[in-house]
Amino acid sequence: MPPRSRPAAADQPTLSESDGIRYLHFGTEWIQGAMRIKAPAELVLEYTTQMMAWLLFLDPPKDEAIGQLGLGAASITRFCMKHTRSPLTVVEWNSQVTAVCQMFFRLPTSSRLTVHHEDAGAWVADPLNAGRCPVLMVDLYDAQARGPVRDSVAFYRHCRRVLGEVGVLSVNLFGRHESFEPNIENLRQAFDDRIVLLPEIEEGNQIVLAFSGPPLAVTPAQLLERAEVVESKYGLPARRWARALTRHAVDGMLHF
């Protein structure tokens, strides 16, 4: 798919509200993001909490940025602004989404936050962005919200380069769509098979983590201990994630 430049009619952001939650759409019933109006920094959708599962393996960076490809309703952005001190770099090709987030989804204005209005595929391919974000969260969907709009082996290899020497990529996939298995294969190729899947949630989303850097080997007990720290500090269901990952243990060790 060539780089996207100008939003089409199907890319126009639309809003809905129900039970105190505001939702972002692109003119369809598919939800692109959500915000609890009285608690804007809360992660409402389960898949957005799972996107933060990289915290099981890395602390938020101090100097480099937490990266996001796809702004959505700025849920993860608001969460990271509140709970970390990291710089944040967001790549969102559709400036109308950014404007809607500023008006209706409390997207903060801060010197820590940079939003690039650029195609995510072009941004990660730029050599100047190599090593920029040791954490990179990828959530790239169009109005149909079924399969990612950027998902080639080359794209994921460029994401790996953005991570630098040590980093974790988290990707939102849709397990019930035909794009799922090709995405998994492309991620395996790009990351030398160093990926792990979190359990599919009820809505069909499934988060994949991919790793760059030296191989990791931890015991289930060590991972659960880290999960307790993450859960206590960030209020995320990290122990549930850790318990799910322990099924990958071989001879009492987890390898990532």
Give the residue with greater pLDDT, 242 vs 203. Answer: 242
| Segment 175-230, tens digit of pLDDT | 777 889 999 999 999 999 999 999 999 888 999 999 999 999 999 999 999 999 99
pLDDT at 30 over 80: yes
Residue count (the chain): 256
- b/e string for 173-211 if b means 16 or more Cβ within 10 A? bbbeeebbeebbebbbebbeebbbbbebeeeebbbbbbb
Taking 3-state DSSP, the helix, strand and coil percentages for the chain, each rounded to the nearest 5, stand at 35, 20, 45
Of the pLDDT bands very low, low, confident and very high (cuts 50, 70, 90), residue 6 is low
Question: Residue 27: what pLDDT?
Answer: 82
pTM summary value: 0.93
Cβ–Cβ under 8 Å, residues 74 and 25? no
pLDDT at 2 over 60: no
| Segment 69-89, tens digit of pLDDT | 999 999 999 999 999 999 999
Give the residue with greater pLDDT, 202 vs 24. Answer: 24
Question: Residue 233: what pLDDT?
Answer: 98
Question: Residue 20: what pLDDT?
Answer: 97
Of the pLDDT bands very low, low, confident and very high (cuts 50, 70, 90), residue 28 is confident
